[in-house]
Amino acid sequence: EGDGPEYNYLFKYIIVGDAGVGKSCILLQFTMGRFRAEHDMTIGVEFGHRFVEIDGQTIKLQIWDTAGQEAFRSITRAYYRGATGALLVYDITRRASFDRLAEWLVDARQNAQPNMVIMLIGNKSDLERREVSYEEGAWFARQNGLFFLETSAKTGQNVGSAFMDTANQIYENL
């Protein structure tokens, strides 16, 4: 009592992908409904949470962000430990971030629990100057057994769906 809201399940999520793809912004948009345009590592969000309902059950989504560590390639096993969901993010306006997905997947498969649900996200869908087509993203997801959405952390488009589709799948796997 008095320790905050009650919940039936806790799902840990991690957000991975190259620096600059919009991981912190996705977290901020989902947890606070806000967008921050200036890139400032010093105020990078590291953790966030939000309560959601599935089937009348209250679920706490606890979300971990790398907060800049990915630049130093030091994402550790501890980060993956217990994670039931992962958002694997690239930037549709930067092909290099898409080309690195295979490496991120190897890392995830080596460190994560086998049933971790992975949602591939092509972020910055509000921008016109794309370098990666929707079809390429969908194809990569299909080849690797991932879910797929394009999102905008700026407008909020599909951000909620990315977390909720993942949560529904984790819930089904329980």
Chain contacts with ligand GDP (rule: CB under 6 A): 19-25, 37, 39, 123-124, 126-127, 152-154
Residue 147 tokens read as: 């879910």
Residue 19 or 138 having the CB closest to ligand GDP: 19
The residues facing 9 across adjacent strands are 59
Residue 24 or 84 having the CB closest to ligand GDP: 24
Residue 59 tokens read as: 């679920």
Residue 21 or 118 having the CB closest to ligand GDP: 21
Return d(Cα 162, Cα 160) in angstroms, integer. 5
Return d(Cα 65, Cα 83) in angstroms, integer. 12
CB of 40 to ligand GDP, least distance (A): 8
CB of 25 to ligand GDP, least distance (A): 4
Return d(Cα 102, Cα 159) in angstroms, integer. 23
CB of 65 to ligand GDP, least distance (A): 7
Taking CB positions, which residue lies at the least distance from ligand GDP? 22
**DSSP H helical segments within the chain, as ranges?**
23-32, 77-80, 95-99, 101-111, 134-144, 159-173
CB of 83 to ligand GDP, least distance (A): 17
Contact 132, 95 (CB under 8 A): yes
Residue 59 or 150 having the CB closest to ligand GDP: 150
Residue 25 or 52 having the CB closest to ligand GDP: 25
CB of 51 to ligand GDP, least distance (A): 23
